[in-house]
Structure 1
């Protein structure tokens, strides 16, 4: 926010000032052409501007004629948002007529593109990171089809994030300068965007997503830990089922010939949960459901946060 100017807005000076200063409430950055000096007819004069912490200094030509002059500025604040405005002063006597303060705002199409790209970048990051954490930590090994689908969705989310970040490289500088949609193909805007802090953060985000996606695909599903006794009982059940498979109710002949094998008549591989097998003396493992509240909440929370960020970005 602009705190004050020297000379003040509307001041009438007896002599030409050596420089004009603008003071803000936070450090600002001046882009080339960000601060302009115009005469009463709207013609731009040759000047030089620089920023020193929270102050912007504009060098004024010493041979100014009498009349009204306008200072128009558009600087970049510490949080990367543009701050624009202007003021006027006069040397000698004010001009009888002066142009209005020129507007310095980006086109609606460029602003909409920037907001959409930022929303897609945040949404893709939240969804992709949430899915990768879910795949690495929570998803059980007995769901390979679901794992492949979620891994593919995480890859698409990461790809959308990379594409949106790439669009923001020239879009943000063009928006900060109050430009048009054609700034996306301007080489100067690309160079400015690649040198900014946003470009560094974009590179870190893309690298982080890429490494996480590769690690998730290479790690595979987490193994299911089973007690050693239960695993031994299951192996013995499989071996017994290979030797003899009895389907349907046990017959008296089967009881006389091989009594320990009749419990396998119901299921040669998977006994009922909690049932004790007479042939092994080992309790059968209890199989838990493959879906629970914790994975469900983890998959629904990132998209919810992404939609909230999307609405927030559109409301700026």
Structure 2
């Protein structure tokens, strides 16, 4: 409930009033803004990672790199988790470079079925796909199969390379961070204004903070919908059409964001009387219900919705968000307003209550974070071997520092009640906010990163090995990568450079693989040029041993050279 105090005489200056107070509040708000900007830069400074995804291609029919005697009537892709279509991004390209897929692919949970025209053409076919996993992240890839006998793979301009646009990828992280900052500036201040704000103090400053939070959450929601369109399709920032926008809005991601916008409108209507100090108990309860419902739209549109225990993950993530917003938002109110404007009597009533709230919020954060980590990380090895796991470790370390500062702050609260000065308490609260701003940045990156349990499972599917080497000739340097370098299907990537290590355009790529020790004759590797100096191919290696890879690279009508690599296959 609000803390009621006797109004001071209008002729006597109130504690913390006048120009000095205005300057100090402005200074603290500026420092808070700098901390939030630092958190954003912390997120953007992290190394770029491949497109995050839960799903991965588990199997296909035909099998990649297989040779069939009869052309299949359909191609079937089976993923590890349910996927959703991206318009016109599942294709089958014939040997002549023309599309042979008929109509839209059929999506049924984990299974995608592509009807193929029976053209009778013999040679190598290319299957290219880009789909959306259950947690709203794109999954892309491709493979080849041949009918009758392998041939030259379809030309590189027959299919678009499905790379993520760096501007869109960065924008997605920034928008996530803005949304979290908005929650902090909205949830915590509203709670303090509802239950702890002294009646004599003006609400104009806190009202500005609340409306700023509302604006940031609304902006992040609208921008998130817009960015999701090119993020799923692999296009640029403005590659948005009516069809692609409708496709996003009809997804779980889009539905959750539309519901959030509707709830924000209802919340805004209830905020007006609250910010004037006129709201009643029923309005406060209704505001809490609407706010709780809005919080659930974040996990429903992200990783928790696709976890093995989705119901638990969604609830835990919502609790995590709520605890974070209450704790940090309350700290903002303390640092920017209460510690400067409230008198000793008011602080004597406010600080013990806030200290208990903060302790409960931190406890909920720890508990929810632990449950989240157990679900999303899966194993101790995944904690240290995956990007997601290492981000979790960094977040835990920073959070431990925040908890230590928070414990110091609680001690200062007790000192304050015993007559101690407020300066150290304000400094401690500022440090808490500064560190947690960076934690928010890490969180914005985490939600765009493949969960550790999924990354570890994907690694098991692709195998633990990897081969990389640079082969030299008098014409070029060739970087060769074979993944996973184990028995079964392998991906081969070739990058050509000149003697100055600059990208070198290649006219023709040829490759073979042989296992002389087992009298396995050279087998052609179908190579698909992706750029002037980059080609890729798929090959099945049925036996373990030291395979001999030979690559012949032609860079002009008359200039070519052959290089050899011995690749250990386990």
When normalised by structure 2's length, the TM-score is 0.40
Shift of 1:222: 8.7
Work out the CA distance in 2 between the residues paired with 1:54 and 1:171.
Answer: 25
Q: CA distance change for structure 1 residues 34 and 306 in 2, over 3 Å: closer, same or farther? A: farther
Shift of 1:139: 1.7
Shift of 1:182: 1.9
**What residue is the counterpart of 2:108 in the other structure?**
52
Instruction: Report if the CA contact (8 A) 2:57-2:78 is conserved.
Output: yes
Q: CA distance change for structure 1 residues 314 and 137 in 2, over 3 Å: closer, same or farther? A: same
Instruction: Report if the CA contact (8 A) 1:135-1:216 is conserved.
Output: no
Q: CA distance change for structure 1 residues 165 and 218 in 2, over 3 Å: closer, same or farther? A: same
**What residue is the counterpart of 1:312 in the other structure?**
443
| Residue 269 of structure 2 is aligned to residue 217 of structure 1 | no
Pairwise mapping of residues 63-78 of structure 1 onto structure 2 (< 5 A)? 63-78=119-134
Work out the CA distance in 2 between the residues paired with 1:19 and 1:193.
Answer: 27
Identify the match of residue 178 of structure 2 among 109, 120, 138: 120
Q: CA distance change for structure 1 residues 59 and 97 in 2, over 3 Å: closer, same or farther? A: closer
**What residue is the counterpart of 2:74 in the other structure?**
19
Identify the match of residue 129 of structure 1 among 178, 187, 201: 187
Identify the match of residue 351 of structure 2 among 257, 268, 292: 292
Instruction: Report if the CA contact (8 A) 1:126-1:303 is conserved.
Output: no
Shift of 1:199: 2.9
Work out the CA distance in 1 between the residues paired with 2:215 and 2:150.
Answer: 58
Instruction: Report if the CA contact (8 A) 1:13-1:92 is conserved.
Output: yes
Instruction: Report if the CA contact (8 A) 1:14-1:92 is conserved.
Output: yes
Shift of 1:2: 1.0
Work out the CA distance in 1 between the residues paired with 2:132 and 2:72.
Answer: 25
**What residue is the counterpart of 1:246 in the other structure?**
none
| Unmatched runs of 5 consecutive residues or more in structure 2 | 1-55, 280-343, 362-428, 450-570
Work out the CA distance in 2 between the residues paired with 1:128 and 1:207.
Answer: 16
Identify the match of residue 202 of structure 1 among 253, 257, 262: 257
Work out the CA distance in 2 between the residues paired with 1:288 and 1:40.
Answer: 79
Shift of 1:27: 1.1
When normalised by structure 1's length, the TM-score is 0.70
Deviations 1:135-164 (A, max 9, x none): 1122221222xx321111110111121122
Q: CA distance change for structure 1 residues 218 and 5 in 2, over 3 Å: closer, same or farther? A: same
Shift of 1:74: 0.6
Instruction: Report if the CA contact (8 A) 2:67-2:147 is conserved.
Output: yes
SS in 2 for 1:31: strand
Shift of 1:62: 1.1
Work out the CA distance in 2 between the residues paired with 1:50 and 1:303.
Answer: 49
| Residue 90 of structure 2 is aligned to residue 35 of structure 1 | yes
Work out the CA distance in 2 between the residues paired with 1:26 and 1:106.
Answer: 21
Q: CA distance change for structure 1 residues 302 and 127 in 2, over 3 Å: closer, same or farther? A: farther
| Unmatched runs of 5 consecutive residues or more in structure 1 | 224-285
Shift of 1:91: 0.5
Identify the match of residue 239 of structure 2 among 163, 167, 183: 183
Work out the CA distance in 2 between the residues paired with 1:212 and 1:30.
Answer: 34
SS in 2 for 1:26: coil
Larger radius of gyration: 1
Q: CA distance change for structure 1 residues 289 and 131 in 2, over 3 Å: closer, same or farther? A: closer
Q: CA distance change for structure 1 residues 194 and 96 in 2, over 3 Å: closer, same or farther? A: closer
Instruction: Report if the CA contact (8 A) 2:73-2:118 is conserved.
Output: yes
SS in 2 for 1:57: strand
Instruction: Report if the CA contact (8 A) 1:122-1:306 is conserved.
Output: no
Shift of 1:5: 0.4
Is the deviation greater in 38-47 or in 102-111?
38-47
Instruction: Report if the CA contact (8 A) 1:21-1:58 is conserved.
Output: yes
Deviations 1:198-234 (A, max 9, x none): 23322333343444444343134499xxxxxxxxxxx
Instruction: Report if the CA contact (8 A) 1:139-1:221 is conserved.
Output: no
Work out the CA distance in 1 between the residues paired with 2:223 and 2:172.
Answer: 8
Q: CA distance change for structure 1 residues 102 and 199 in 2, over 3 Å: closer, same or farther? A: closer
